Amino acid sequence: MRRGAEWRVPGGFALVAGLLLAVRGSAGAAVPDEGWRVSSTGGLTVDGGLVLAAPAALPTGLSTGIGAGLAYGRGVFAWGARASWSTATESSFVWTATHADLDLRLDGAVQRDVGRGRLALRLGIGSTVVHETRLRNQGARAGLTGSDLQTSSFTALPVAALDVVVAVHVAGPWLLMLAGGPSVSIVSSAWNVGWKTELGVGWQR
């Protein structure tokens, strides 16, 4: 699982920019129908959705899965926790490696309400548990068994992430949410810079 530090280009920054423009434009927009009015502005927000990220310990590829989180805070500051699970598979001439990443974080954020939306900058610290499965290509055809054919291991990596979060009220207590930004993990004593994007829906009470 050794890899050196490398920079990756976040795949969700264009979507973040688009939602930022949508939030700004909605600040003075009229609400056309009663069903679209915001019915909840409480401090608790729960969200979940699709996760796209750089694998925590693979040098290439795209890890896809699901994530969820909750946050509580009124005014400028909020606190919360997040969890996500995603997988990525990459092949070489000899092996096919599959990584399942379980990401667990506690986070704090500074936030601001803008019209029907909320903008936040969120810092998360926690750990990513990586389950690696390596299968030797054509090993079964060659009659290999046991660890000569397949290996499996678990590794826990410390991780920190900085996300830009955009939430837009759609109807009632429901929100459309997008978050994305860089992350840093330590793999085999080496710093690795990756990225993560989450797109989903939220519920505020």
- Give the mean model confidence (pLDDT) for residues 51-69: 94
C-alpha distances in Å from residue 46, one per residue of 10, 69, 185: 24, 6, 26
Please tell me the pTM assigned to this model: 0.79
**29/175 Cα distance (integer angstroms):** 17
- Give the mean model confidence (pLDDT) for residues 119-135: 96
Distant-in-sequence, close-in-space partners of 93: CB < 8 Å, separation ≥ 6: 137
Using 50, 70 and 90 to split pLDDT, how confident is the model at 142? confident
Per-residue pLDDT of 7-19, as tens digits, reads 444 555 455 555 5
**Residue, of 31 and 149, whose pLDDT is higher:** 149
Per-residue pLDDT of 18-37, as tens digits, reads 555 554 554 444 445 555 67
Place of tokens 């920079």: 7
**Residue, of 171 and 125, whose pLDDT is higher:** 125
- Domains of the chain as residue ranges with CATH: 13-23+42-193 (2.40.160)
CA atoms within 13 A on the CB side of 189: 0
Q: Report helix, strand or coil for 37.
A: coil
Place of tokens 């499965």: 133
**205/200 Cα distance (integer angstroms):** 17
Per-residue pLDDT of 70-94, as tens digits, reads 999 988 999 999 999 999 999 888 8
What integer best gives the mean pLDDT of the chain?
A: 84
